[in-house]
Structure 1
Amino acid sequence: MDHRLAGYDRAVYRSVARLSTPALDEPLRRVSDLANFSKLWFLVAGGIALFGGPRGRRAALSGLGAIGATSFVVNQPIKKLAGERRRPDRHGLGVPVQRWVRMPSSGSFPSGHSASAAAFAVAVGGLLPRLRPGLRVMASAVAFSRVYTGVHYPSDVLVGVAVGAVFGRLAARLAVRLRPPASHPRRTM
Structure 2
Amino acid sequence: MVLMKRYQKLKDKVMDRKEEFQKLMSYVENETEYLTAPASTRFHLCHEKGLLEHSVNVAETMLKLKSTLAPEISDESCVIVALLHDLGKAGMPGNPQYIKNEPTSKQKAYGYAANPPYRFNNELTYLSVPIRSLYLITPRFPLTEEEVQAIAYHDGQYVEENRSVASHEEKLTLLLQYADSWSCFVVEE
Pairwise TM-score range, normalised by the shorter structure: 0.3 to 0.5
Superposition TM-score, scaled by structure 1 size: 0.38
Higher relative contact order (CA 8 A, sep 6+): 1
Larger radius of gyration: 1
Structure 1 or 2: more helix by fraction:
1
Superposition TM-score, scaled by structure 2 size: 0.38
